[in-house]
Amino acid sequence: MTGVILAGGRSTRMGRDKAFLKAGSERLIDRQIRLFSALFQEVIIVTNRPLDYLDQPATIASDILPGRGALGGIYTGLFHATAEQAFFAACDMPFLNRDFMAYMIEQATGCDIVVPAPSDGLQPLHAIYSRRCLPAIRGLLERDRLKVTGFYGGFKSLTIPPDTLHAFDPKGLMFLNINTPADLGHLDVLERGQREGEPG
């Protein structure tokens, strides 16, 4: 399986590239590359600023169809993946859980889509997709229909229920993403709690 980090967002609310924000002493992108490199032989970063990522030990890919948001990033990552399936995560998720990612990989055999389903809705930017999804995604992109879950119908999907998610992530942090300066401030508090073993 290929691992794909989606780093193509415009970061309008943050005002700067979220991939290079620090969680503790480590940049988010460095943390994710370290984690992905331990799980996947091939790691791809999808970004519209490829020159910013030349120091990373990963394949760098720019959007095939620019300006199509996260769905366009998924299409680009799947297009370039050499494996039949790819695991996707957004670059601004600081608490990705390696054990849960490994669990998702184990569940993916024979599936086109594996997606966590917490009580507040699906997590399509922390999911596994097969290359069989490419034509359906391309069709949506060409019609400018950019809802990430818009291609799910008709594919063999596995949703991971809340009780399983809680077993891996009792604090509910692994889908947290950083969108604003306030989120970044809260991240510092969570990081200290994680290091000290306190509730996040």
- The predicted-structure confidence for 111-162, as pLDDT tens digits, reads as follows 999 999 999 999 999 999 999 999 999 999 999 999 999 999 999 999 999 9
pLDDT value of residue 16: 52
The residues, any chain, with a CB within 8 Å of residue 145's CB and separated by 6 or more, are none
Cβ-based neighbour number of residue 164 at 10 Å:
15
pLDDT value of residue 193: 55
- Tens of pLDDT, residue by residue over 70-90, are 999 999 999 999 999 999 999
pLDDT value of residue 15: 43
pLDDT value of residue 199: 45
pLDDT value of residue 186: 56
What gap in Å lies between CA 56 and CA 33, rounded to an integer? 8
**196 phi and psi angles, rounded to 5 deg:** -95, 0
- Mean pLDDT value of segment 47-69: 93
pLDDT value of residue 178: 79
Question: What angle in degrees, to the nearest 10, is found between the helix axes of 134-142 and 69-80?
Answer: 140
Q: Which two tokens stand for residue 116?
A: 């966590």
Contact between residue 7 and residue 91 where contact means Cβ atoms under 8 Å apart = yes
| Share of residues in the chain with pLDDT > 90 (%) | 72
Confidence of residue 19 (pLDDT cuts 50, 70, 90): confident
Confidence of residue 60 (pLDDT cuts 50, 70, 90): very high
What gap in Å lies between CA 144 and CA 125, rounded to an integer? 19
Confidence of residue 190 (pLDDT cuts 50, 70, 90): low
Token look-up 């997590």 returns 123
Confidence of residue 32 (pLDDT cuts 50, 70, 90): very high
pLDDT value of residue 197: 53
For residue 14, pLDDT beyond 60: no
pTM attached to this predicted model: 0.88
pLDDT value of residue 18: 74
